[in-house]
Amino acid sequence: KHDTESIYFVINTGSQSTLNNTAAVTNRFFSMLGKCTTVTGNISFEAAAQSSLATFGTRYTGSSRENMLSSRLIILWGWDPNITRYGSDTSFYLTRAKKAGARIICVDPRNNHSGQALADRWLPIRPGTDTAMLLAMAHEMITNKLYDKEFTKKYTFGFDRFQDYVTGIEDGIVKNPEWASFICGISPEPIKELAREYATTRPAALMTGWAPGRTAYGEQFHRAASTLAAITGNIGIEGSFVSGGTDQIDLGRIGQNIFLPDTDHNLIHKTEIYDALIHGRSAGHASNCKLLYITGCNMLNQFLNLNKGKKALMSQDFIITHELFLTPTARFADIILPAAHFLEYNDIGQPWSGGPYTIFMHKASNNTSGSKSDLEIFKEISRRMGIKDYSEKSDSQWLGEFLESEPSFPGLVSLKENGTYKFSCEHPIIAFKEQIENPGDNPFPTPSGKIEIFSDRFARLKDPSIPPIPKYIASWEGPEDDMIKDYPIQLITPHSRARINSQLDNIKSMEKLKNDRLWMSTEDARVRDIKDGDIVYMFNNRGRISTQVRVTDRIMPGVASLDQGQWYNPDSQGVDHGGCANILTLDKRSPAGAFCSNTCLIQIKKA
């Protein structure tokens, strides 16, 4: 009845396998149907991706993990890989690096799990203020001539502008440790010490997570971290790390590109989807939604500002989802098509961020429920709608073709038999090794051919909220926002070791691994007369959660932490007893498009 543009399809994660990849098969279907409307913006690391492109001209900035074995200093900056993995070998090499004598420092509002297990020192920092601290470290290095002058001159572009900003020549504000201390909550002395240590211990790896980038001006964090790595000469050499990047490695990945037709859909940023669903064209969005089609995404739970999300889903005439479980989002659907689990079919698996191997995913369980893979579901719909060529092939024909499209890969029979395939490549893989070893023949893929501390890409935007050099910009819902008078606690929502985002929250046997209490500092609990194990309300003007408290000295005063991904479970008053953090978060993106789940002010009181 309606034009295809009025179909909104929402994809995010789901199955990440190669053929039955939820996002890819959904995209293929709607792309063959016509121009539709869909979501854009990488929820996990848009800030890092934009920063990588601006600074290095590519999103591939990752090195293999054994590289850490040569690091003498490792800084875990908003990074907790013992929980979040970042590749299956990360914890292994991090622990071995520690045994080999690397000093480890954790910069995080919490003494996180990796910090607790491995770090020699924890520096508790206020969320969203990391850039101020990084700039102050640069100030310390510049004014004491500790930075690597030669490396900076040879490989970077725009250092002078950065120096003028840091030393206060540009705007009259000297970005020294005293200035930063007031913002980030760490005293000047430890900032100076860390600056000296990072500048003089070589090689050093400033390992940046994505969480500090999921904040109001998150891209500045990644840009500042990359700048520090560059001016200390910690890029392209063994044991260093391209701090602030996406951490992805550019190794042959198979499939999908031959699978995806080229259709330009209307794009709506993931933080604006609820506005678009509610207001459509009247608020300047490309179309009015007539059909919302969700695959592999528990959007109501996982996207920001859940109460607005509820209104948005209620306002829809027709919602379809493919799901494995009756999730909070699926409850709003008119039709739920039961999706098969990846354990129920054969496929090919490719590693986190692109490590040098590929695995065959053997089917582990027979499907007896009658559910179908996403590919199978779309195949059936295509047949009934008369869409030709959606998929005339069997799964093994597709997989065989994918492998053949990359000459270096083995054939399907061989991969299936061997289970894994390892690429032959030099080890460790070190990002930008060639650019540093032989710059004449290997310029960085940026306009200047160098590491851009001054980014031409950002300069062209002429947007003061995305400046060409990394700057500290005070955050909305941060320590410098007036809202802090009513809502004095900064909430962060890390990923849980017992879930994959919201997946597995409904699985009973995972209960014992959960750590779903609200972390509160001893001081914040004391002034509110709250004791360990008490039930509290955590709330702001967007929503209210009732949950149990864990009082701990592993989180700094003024900050609280609740693991994300718990399923929304409201009572009749709209108070959530499930512990879904997104009832409190604001659906606003950073200027470069980051999903700001760690920018959120709340109050806490005893229930």
Nearer to ligand MGD, 436 or 559 (CB): 559
Pick one of 12, 27, 37, 44: the residue that binds Mo ion (CB under 5 A): 44
Q: Considering the complex, what minimum distance in angstroms separates the CB of residue 12 from Mo ion?
A: 8
For the bound state, the minimum distance from the C-beta of residue 294 to Mo ion, rounded and expressed in Å, comes to: 17
What is the number of H-type helices and E-type strands within the chain? 20, 21
Cβ neighbours, 10 Å, residue 87: 20
Residue 293 CB, nearest approach to ligand MGD (Å): 11
Residue 137 lies near ligand MGD (rule: CB under 6 A): no
Among 61, 240, 298, 358, binds ligand MGD (CB under 6 A): 298
Tell whether residue 227 is a contact of ligand MGD (CB under 6 A).
no
* Closer residue to Mo ion (CB): 44 or 271: 44
Stated as kind and residue range, the H or E segment containing 201 is none
Q: Which amino acid, 29?
A: F
Whether the Cβ atoms of residue 449 and residue 442 lie closer than 8 Å to each other: no
Interacting positions 439-478 with ligand MGD (CB under 6 A): none
Residue of 7, 8, 13, 207 that binds ligand MGD (CB under 6 A): 13
Per CB under 6 A, contacts with ligand MGD among 416-435 are none
Q: Are 102 and 68 in contact (CB under 8 A)?
A: yes
Residue 355 contacts ligand MGD per CB under 6 A: no
- Give the angle subtended at the CA of 127 by the CAs of 543 and 570, to the nearest 5°: 20
C-beta of 205 vs 436, nearer to ligand MGD: 205
Per-residue mark of binding to ligand MGD, 562-601 (x: CB under 6 A): --xx---------------xx--x-----------xx---
Distance CA 240, CA 73 (A): 9
Residue whose structure tokens are 């993995």: 85
46 contributes a contact to ligand MGD by CB under 6 A: no
Stretch that binds Mo ion, among 37-45, 235-243, 361-369, 549-557 (CB under 5 A): 37-45
| Nearer residue to ligand MGD within complex by CB, 84 or 287 | 84
220 and 208 Cβ atoms separated by less than 8 Å: no
Q: Which range binds Mo ion by CB under 5 A, 44-52, 249-257, 335-343, 524-532?
A: 44-52
322 part of the interface to ligand MGD, by CB under 6 A: yes
Q: Least Å distance between CB 207 and Mo ion?
A: 17
Burial 465-490 (b: 16+ CB within 10 A, else e): ebbbbbbbbebbbbbebeeeeebebb
Q: Is 493 in the site for Mo ion (CB under 5 A)?
A: no
Distance, in Å, from the CA atom of 504 to the CA atom of 101, rounded to the nearest integer, reads 37
Query: With binding defined as CB under 6 A, does residue 367 bind ligand MGD?
Result: no
Contacting range for ligand MGD; rule: CB under 6 A; set: 364-372, 468-476, 501-509, 533-541: 501-509
246 binds ligand MGD (CB under 6 A): no
Note whether 62 binds ligand MGD by CB under 6 A: no
- Map tokens 């622990």 to a residue: 95
**Count of residues making up the chain:** 607
Q: What residue 585 binds from Mo ion, ligand MGD, none (CB within 5 to 8 A, per partner kind)?
A: ligand MGD
Site for ligand MGD (CB under 6 A): how many residues? 60
| Residue 582 binds to Mo ion (criterion: CB under 5 A) | no
Neighbours of 493 (CB within 10 A): 22
Angle at 304 between CA 300 and CA 309, to 5 degrees: 45
Q: How far is the CA of 567 from the CAs of 320, 385, 493, 576, in angstroms?
A: 20, 35, 14, 9
Closest separation between CB of residue 350 and Mo ion, Å?
Answer: 16
- In the list ligand MGD, Mo ion, none, the entry touching 325 (Cβ below 5 to 8 angstroms by class) is ligand MGD
Residues in 112-131 that interact with ligand MGD by CB under 6 A: 112, 125, 127-128, 130
> Which of the listed partners (Mo ion, ligand MGD, none) does 492 bind, with a CB threshold of 5 to 8 Å by partner kind?
ligand MGD
- CB 23, min distance to Mo ion, A: 13
- Residue 569 contacts residue 552 (beta carbons within 8 Å): no
Question: Rounded to whole angstroms, how far apart are CA atoms 10 and 520?
Answer: 35
Shortest distance (Å) from residue 607 CB to ligand MGD? 22
> Minimum Å distance from CB 340 to ligand MGD?
7
Helices 130-143/218-231 angle, 10° precision: 20
What is the phi/psi pair of residue 332, to 5°? Answer: -90, 0
494 belongs to the binding site for ligand MGD (CB under 6 A): yes
| Residue ranges of E strands in 173-318 | 204-208, 266-269, 291-295
CA distance 367 to 395: 15
Which stretch, 140-148, 191-199, 454-462, 499-507, contacts ligand MGD (CB under 6 A)? 499-507
The DSSP secondary structure of 348-415, one letter per residue, reads EE--TT--SEEEEE---S---S--B-HHHHHHHHHHHHT-TTS--S-HHHHHHHHHHTSTTSPPHHHH
What lies within 8 Å, CB to CB, of 172 at 6+ separation is none
309 binds ligand MGD (CB under 6 A): no
Pick what 558 binds: Mo ion, ligand MGD, none; C-beta below 5 to 8 Å, kind-dependent: none
Give me the residues that bind ligand MGD (CB under 6 A), please: 12-15, 22, 43-44, 77-80, 83-85, 107-110, 112, 125, 127-128, 130, 209-212, 215, 295-299, 302, 322-325, 327, 339, 342, 374, 492-497, 499-503, 564-565, 581-582, 585, 597-598
Give me the residues that bind Mo ion (CB under 5 A), please: 44
